Protein backbone atom coordinates (compact mmCIF):
# COMPACT_ATOMS: atom_id res chain seq x y z
CA UNK A 1 0.00 0.00 0.00
CA UNK A 2 1.35 3.43 -0.99
CA UNK A 3 -1.54 5.37 0.54
CA UNK A 4 0.65 6.38 3.49
CA UNK A 5 3.11 8.35 1.37
CA UNK A 6 3.14 12.09 2.08
CA UNK A 7 0.58 13.95 -0.06
CA UNK A 8 3.30 16.00 -1.74
CA UNK A 9 4.74 12.77 -3.14
CA UNK A 10 1.60 10.66 -3.52
CA UNK A 11 -0.58 13.13 -5.49
CA UNK A 12 1.97 13.95 -8.26
CA UNK A 13 2.87 10.25 -8.50
CA UNK A 14 -0.78 9.21 -8.88
CA UNK A 15 -1.42 11.90 -11.50
CA UNK A 16 1.70 10.89 -13.44
CA UNK A 17 0.69 7.20 -13.44
CA UNK A 18 -2.87 8.04 -14.50
CA UNK A 19 -1.55 10.12 -17.41
CA UNK A 20 0.84 7.34 -18.43
CA UNK A 21 -2.06 4.89 -18.30
CA UNK A 22 -4.04 7.14 -20.65
CA UNK A 23 -1.16 7.19 -23.14
CA UNK A 24 -0.51 3.46 -22.93
CA UNK A 25 -4.13 2.65 -23.78
CA UNK A 26 -5.22 5.58 -25.95
CA UNK A 27 -2.48 5.24 -28.55
CA UNK A 28 -3.34 1.63 -29.54
CA UNK A 29 -7.01 2.55 -29.26
CA UNK A 30 -6.55 5.31 -31.86
CA UNK A 31 -4.54 3.00 -34.14
CA UNK A 32 -7.23 0.32 -34.02
CA UNK A 33 -9.94 2.93 -34.63
CA UNK A 34 -8.13 4.03 -37.77
CA UNK A 35 -7.98 0.44 -39.02
CA UNK A 36 -11.68 0.06 -38.25
CA UNK A 37 -12.52 3.13 -40.35
CA UNK A 38 -10.29 2.13 -43.25
CA UNK A 39 -11.87 -1.31 -43.76
CA UNK A 40 -15.65 -0.96 -44.32
CA UNK A 41 -16.51 -4.61 -43.69
CA UNK A 42 -19.20 -5.20 -41.03
CA UNK A 43 -17.56 -8.33 -39.59
CA UNK A 44 -14.19 -6.56 -39.37
CA UNK A 45 -15.71 -3.53 -37.69
CA UNK A 46 -17.55 -5.66 -35.16
CA UNK A 47 -14.31 -7.43 -34.27
CA UNK A 48 -12.53 -4.08 -33.98
CA UNK A 49 -15.29 -2.83 -31.69
CA UNK A 50 -14.78 -5.83 -29.40
CA UNK A 51 -11.02 -5.19 -29.31
CA UNK A 52 -11.60 -1.50 -28.57
CA UNK A 53 -13.76 -2.46 -25.62
CA UNK A 54 -11.05 -4.84 -24.38
CA UNK A 55 -8.54 -1.96 -24.47
CA UNK A 56 -10.96 0.31 -22.60
CA UNK A 57 -11.62 -2.34 -19.95
CA UNK A 58 -7.87 -2.77 -19.48
CA UNK A 59 -7.53 1.01 -19.13
CA UNK A 60 -10.21 1.07 -16.42
CA UNK A 61 -8.69 -1.97 -14.75
CA UNK A 62 -5.32 -0.24 -14.37
CA UNK A 63 -7.02 2.91 -13.02
CA UNK A 64 -8.80 0.73 -10.46
CA UNK A 65 -5.52 -0.88 -9.44
CA UNK A 66 -3.89 2.54 -8.98
CA UNK A 67 -6.72 3.79 -6.78
CA UNK A 68 -6.52 0.57 -4.76
CA UNK A 69 -2.79 1.07 -4.31
CA UNK A 70 -2.78 4.77 -3.45
CA UNK A 71 -6.01 5.25 -1.48
CA UNK A 72 -7.53 3.89 1.72
CA UNK A 73 -11.17 3.78 0.68
CA UNK A 74 -13.49 1.54 2.66
CA UNK A 75 -16.00 -0.03 0.28
CA UNK A 76 -19.40 -1.28 1.38
CA UNK A 77 -21.24 -2.72 -1.61
CA UNK A 78 -24.37 -4.82 -1.91
CA UNK A 79 -26.03 -6.35 -4.96
CA UNK A 80 -23.09 -7.38 -7.15
CA UNK A 81 -24.24 -11.01 -7.28
CA UNK A 82 -26.04 -12.07 -10.44
CA UNK A 83 -24.56 -9.50 -12.82
CA UNK A 84 -23.83 -10.87 -16.29
CA UNK A 85 -21.64 -9.93 -19.22
CA UNK A 86 -24.10 -11.38 -21.71
CA UNK A 87 -27.05 -9.18 -20.66
CA UNK A 88 -27.72 -5.61 -21.79
CA UNK A 89 -28.32 -3.12 -18.99
CA UNK A 90 -29.84 0.30 -18.50
CA UNK A 91 -27.92 1.61 -15.50
CA UNK A 92 -29.77 4.28 -13.49
CA UNK A 93 -27.86 6.10 -10.74
CA UNK A 94 -27.96 9.21 -8.61
CA UNK A 95 -25.28 11.82 -9.25
CA UNK A 96 -23.32 13.68 -6.57
CA UNK A 97 -19.78 14.00 -7.91
CA UNK A 98 -17.51 13.24 -10.86
CA UNK A 99 -16.19 10.51 -8.54
CA UNK A 100 -19.43 8.65 -9.33
CA UNK A 101 -17.97 7.61 -12.68
CA UNK A 102 -14.80 5.89 -11.36
CA UNK A 103 -16.95 4.33 -8.63
CA UNK A 104 -19.28 2.83 -11.24
CA UNK A 105 -16.35 1.74 -13.39
CA UNK A 106 -14.63 0.04 -10.45
CA UNK A 107 -17.73 -1.92 -9.50
CA UNK A 108 -19.06 -2.78 -12.95
CA UNK A 109 -15.95 -3.14 -15.13
CA UNK A 110 -15.91 -6.66 -16.63
CA UNK A 111 -18.99 -7.62 -14.63
CA UNK A 112 -21.46 -6.26 -17.20
CA UNK A 113 -20.96 -5.07 -20.79
CA UNK A 114 -18.80 -1.97 -21.18
CA UNK A 115 -20.45 1.08 -19.62
CA UNK A 116 -21.30 3.96 -21.95
CA UNK A 117 -22.95 7.23 -21.00
CA UNK A 118 -24.17 10.33 -22.80
CA UNK A 119 -21.70 13.21 -22.93
CA UNK A 120 -22.01 16.90 -23.62
CA UNK A 121 -20.83 17.65 -27.16
CA UNK A 122 -18.14 20.03 -25.87
CA UNK A 123 -16.33 17.14 -24.18
CA UNK A 124 -15.20 15.74 -27.53
CA UNK A 125 -12.52 18.47 -27.48
CA UNK A 126 -10.94 17.21 -24.23
CA UNK A 127 -7.38 16.23 -25.25
CA UNK A 128 -7.00 12.47 -25.79
CA UNK A 129 -10.08 11.59 -23.76
CA UNK A 130 -12.64 13.20 -26.08
CA UNK A 131 -11.46 11.34 -29.20
CA UNK A 132 -11.16 8.16 -27.12
CA UNK A 133 -14.78 8.44 -26.00
CA UNK A 134 -15.79 8.99 -29.62
CA UNK A 135 -13.79 5.92 -30.73
CA UNK A 136 -15.60 3.88 -28.08
CA UNK A 137 -19.02 4.95 -29.39
CA UNK A 138 -19.96 7.18 -26.47
CA UNK A 139 -22.87 9.33 -27.70
CA UNK A 140 -22.28 13.09 -27.72
CA UNK A 141 -25.31 15.32 -27.32
CA UNK A 142 -25.92 19.04 -27.63
CA UNK A 143 -28.11 20.70 -25.04
CA UNK A 144 -30.06 23.76 -26.18
CA UNK A 145 -31.55 26.34 -23.84
CA UNK A 146 -35.19 27.30 -24.09
CA UNK A 147 -34.12 30.68 -25.44
CA UNK A 148 -32.06 29.06 -28.20
CA UNK A 149 -34.92 26.73 -29.14
CA UNK A 150 -37.32 29.67 -29.24
CA UNK A 151 -35.04 31.47 -31.72
CA UNK A 152 -34.17 28.33 -33.70
CA UNK A 153 -37.10 25.89 -33.58
CA UNK A 154 -35.38 23.72 -36.19
CA UNK A 155 -33.06 22.54 -33.40
CA UNK A 156 -35.98 21.01 -31.52
CA UNK A 157 -35.46 17.26 -31.12
CA UNK A 158 -31.81 17.17 -32.23
CA UNK A 159 -30.72 15.68 -28.92
CA UNK A 160 -33.37 12.98 -29.25
CA UNK A 161 -32.12 12.17 -32.77
CA UNK A 162 -28.60 11.75 -31.36
CA UNK A 163 -29.96 9.41 -28.69
CA UNK A 164 -31.77 7.34 -31.28
CA UNK A 165 -28.68 7.06 -33.51
CA UNK A 166 -26.56 5.95 -30.55
CA UNK A 167 -29.13 3.40 -29.44
CA UNK A 168 -29.38 1.99 -32.96
CA UNK A 169 -25.62 1.40 -32.92
CA UNK A 170 -25.81 -0.14 -29.46
CA UNK A 171 -28.20 -2.80 -30.72
CA UNK A 172 -25.29 -4.36 -32.61
CA UNK A 173 -23.11 -4.97 -29.55
CA UNK A 174 -23.38 -5.96 -25.87
CA UNK A 175 -23.90 -2.71 -24.02
CA UNK A 176 -24.67 -1.05 -20.72
CA UNK A 177 -26.22 2.40 -21.15
CA UNK A 178 -25.67 4.74 -18.21
CA UNK A 179 -28.11 7.46 -17.17
CA UNK A 180 -27.79 9.87 -14.26
CA UNK A 181 -31.51 10.25 -13.65
CA UNK A 182 -31.31 13.66 -11.98
CA UNK A 183 -29.56 15.10 -15.05
CA UNK A 184 -27.13 17.12 -12.90
CA UNK A 185 -25.02 16.73 -9.78
CA UNK A 186 -26.73 16.99 -6.42
CA UNK A 187 -26.06 20.07 -4.29
CA UNK A 188 -28.04 21.38 -1.31
CA UNK A 189 -28.70 24.60 -3.24
CA UNK A 190 -30.20 22.72 -6.20
CA UNK A 191 -32.19 20.54 -3.81
CA UNK A 192 -33.70 23.57 -2.10
CA UNK A 193 -34.33 25.44 -5.37
CA UNK A 194 -36.27 22.46 -6.74
CA UNK A 195 -38.23 21.88 -3.57
CA UNK A 196 -37.26 18.23 -4.03
CA UNK A 197 -39.50 15.83 -2.06
CA UNK A 198 -36.52 13.49 -1.53
CA UNK A 199 -34.02 13.78 1.34
CA UNK A 200 -30.86 12.95 -0.60
CA UNK A 201 -31.86 13.22 -4.27
CA UNK A 202 -32.93 15.82 -6.79
CA UNK A 203 -36.11 15.37 -8.75
CA UNK A 204 -35.74 12.71 -11.50
CA UNK A 205 -35.90 13.56 -15.19
CA UNK A 206 -38.05 10.87 -16.70
CA UNK A 207 -37.81 11.87 -20.38
CA UNK A 208 -34.25 10.68 -21.00
CA UNK A 209 -34.92 7.31 -19.36
CA UNK A 210 -38.12 6.84 -21.37
CA UNK A 211 -36.46 7.73 -24.64
CA UNK A 212 -33.56 5.27 -24.18
CA UNK A 213 -35.99 2.46 -23.30
CA UNK A 214 -38.09 3.22 -26.37
CA UNK A 215 -35.13 3.68 -28.75
CA UNK A 216 -33.42 0.47 -27.63
CA UNK A 217 -36.65 -1.53 -27.92
CA UNK A 218 -36.02 -5.14 -26.97
CA UNK A 219 -32.27 -4.51 -26.98
CA UNK A 220 -32.17 -3.96 -23.22
CA UNK A 221 -32.66 -6.83 -20.78
CA UNK A 222 -32.39 -5.40 -17.28
CA UNK A 223 -32.55 -2.12 -15.38
CA UNK A 224 -29.72 -1.83 -12.86
CA UNK A 225 -30.48 0.72 -10.14
CA UNK A 226 -27.40 2.09 -8.37
CA UNK A 227 -27.49 4.18 -5.19
CA UNK A 228 -24.13 5.82 -4.42
CA UNK A 229 -23.51 7.37 -1.01
CA UNK A 230 -20.48 9.14 0.49
CA UNK A 231 -20.83 9.11 4.31
CA UNK A 232 -18.01 11.66 4.63
CA UNK A 233 -19.94 14.21 2.58
CA UNK A 234 -19.45 15.68 -0.91
CA UNK A 235 -16.17 14.84 -2.61
CA UNK A 236 -14.26 15.76 -5.74
CA UNK A 237 -11.83 14.02 -8.08
CA UNK A 238 -9.04 15.84 -6.25
CA UNK A 239 -10.26 14.30 -2.98
CA UNK A 240 -10.05 10.88 -4.64
CA UNK A 241 -6.53 11.40 -6.00
CA UNK A 242 -5.31 13.02 -2.77
CA UNK A 243 -6.62 10.13 -0.65
CA UNK A 244 -9.15 12.23 1.26
CA UNK A 245 -12.08 10.03 0.22
CA UNK A 246 -12.30 7.38 2.94
CA UNK A 247 -15.61 5.56 2.45
CA UNK A 248 -18.02 4.72 -0.36
CA UNK A 249 -21.29 2.84 0.06
CA UNK A 250 -23.19 1.48 -2.92
CA UNK A 251 -26.40 -0.50 -3.29
CA UNK A 252 -27.25 -2.18 -6.61
CA UNK A 253 -30.61 -3.65 -7.48
CA UNK A 254 -31.76 -5.35 -10.69
CA UNK A 255 -35.25 -4.75 -12.04
CA UNK A 256 -37.02 -6.42 -14.96
CA UNK A 257 -38.07 -4.16 -17.83
CA UNK A 258 -41.83 -4.37 -17.98
CA UNK A 259 -43.60 -4.12 -21.34
CA UNK A 260 -45.50 -1.05 -20.22
CA UNK A 261 -42.27 0.96 -19.81
CA UNK A 262 -41.87 1.45 -23.56
CA UNK A 263 -43.95 4.02 -25.39
CA UNK A 264 -44.06 7.47 -27.01
CA UNK A 265 -43.13 9.79 -24.16
CA UNK A 266 -43.32 12.90 -26.34
CA UNK A 267 -46.78 12.48 -27.85
CA UNK A 268 -48.68 10.03 -25.65
CA UNK A 269 -49.91 12.03 -22.64
CA UNK A 270 -51.33 9.00 -20.82
CA UNK A 271 -48.07 7.07 -21.22
CA UNK A 272 -46.04 10.09 -20.10
CA UNK A 273 -48.02 10.39 -16.88
CA UNK A 274 -47.71 6.66 -16.17
CA UNK A 275 -43.98 6.71 -16.84
CA UNK A 276 -43.40 9.77 -14.66
CA UNK A 277 -45.31 8.07 -11.84
CA UNK A 278 -43.15 4.95 -12.27
CA UNK A 279 -39.91 6.98 -12.19
CA UNK A 280 -41.08 8.95 -9.16
CA UNK A 281 -41.80 5.71 -7.29
CA UNK A 282 -38.42 4.29 -8.33
CA UNK A 283 -36.76 7.45 -7.02
CA UNK A 284 -38.72 7.33 -3.77
CA UNK A 285 -37.34 3.81 -3.22
CA UNK A 286 -33.86 5.03 -4.17
CA UNK A 287 -34.10 7.79 -1.55
CA UNK A 288 -35.02 5.23 1.12
CA UNK A 289 -31.92 3.22 0.18
CA UNK A 290 -29.80 6.39 0.36
CA UNK A 291 -31.07 7.07 3.89
CA UNK A 292 -30.20 3.51 4.91
CA UNK A 293 -26.74 3.68 3.34
CA UNK A 294 -25.87 6.98 4.99
CA UNK A 295 -27.24 6.11 8.43
CA UNK A 296 -25.76 2.59 8.70
CA UNK A 297 -22.82 2.32 11.12
CA UNK A 298 -19.44 1.61 9.55
CA UNK A 299 -18.94 -2.07 8.81
CA UNK A 300 -22.69 -2.83 8.65
| Chain Cα centroid distance, residue 204 | 15
DSSP-assigned beta bridge partners for residue 222: 89, 256
Q: Give 4-36 as a DSSP string.
A: TS-HHHHHHHHHHHHHHHHHHHHHHHHHHHHHH
Under DSSP, the state recorded for 131 is: H
Beta 222-229 vs 247-256: how paired, if at all? antiparallel
Q: Which of 96, 108, 177 is nearest to 139 (CA)?
A: 177
The predicted structure's pLDDT at residue 111 = 96
How much is the pLDDT for 157?
64
The residue ranges of every structural domain in the chain are 1-72, 74-114+174-295
CB 117 within 8 A of CB 93: no
The confidence score (pLDDT) of residue 57 equals 97
For residue 139, what pLDDT is reported? 81
Residue 197: Cβ within 10 Å count: 11
For residues 287 and 200, is the Cβ–Cβ distance under 8 A?
Answer: yes
pTM of the model: 0.90
The tens place of each residue's pLDDT in the chain, 300 residues long, gives 676 778 788 889 999 999 999 999 999 999 999 999 999 998 999 899 999 999 999 999 999 999 999 898 999 999 999 999 999 999 999 999 999 999 999 999 999 999 998 888 888 899 989 999 999 988 877 665 566 666 767 666 666 676 677 777 777 778 899 999 998 999 999 999 999 999 999 999 998 899 888 888 788 899 999 999 999 988 999 899 888 899 999 999 999 998 889 988 888 999 999 999 999 999 999 999 999 999 977 654
DSSP 146-215: HHHHHH-GGGTTHHHHHHHHHHHHHTTS--EEEEETTSS---HHHHHHHT-SSSS-PPP-HHHHHHHHHH
Give the DSSP letter string of 47-73. HHHHHHHHHHHHHHHHHHHHHHHH---
Residue 293 has a pLDDT of 96
Amino acid sequence: MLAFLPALIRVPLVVLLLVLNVLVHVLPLFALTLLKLLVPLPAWRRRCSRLLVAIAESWIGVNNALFELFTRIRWEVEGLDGLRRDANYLVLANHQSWVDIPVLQKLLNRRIPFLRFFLKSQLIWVPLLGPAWWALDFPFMKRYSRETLAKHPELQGKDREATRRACTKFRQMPVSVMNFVEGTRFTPAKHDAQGSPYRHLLKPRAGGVAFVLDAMGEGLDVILEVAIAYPGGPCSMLDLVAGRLREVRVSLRQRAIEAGLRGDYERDEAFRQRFQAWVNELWREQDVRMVRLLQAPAGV
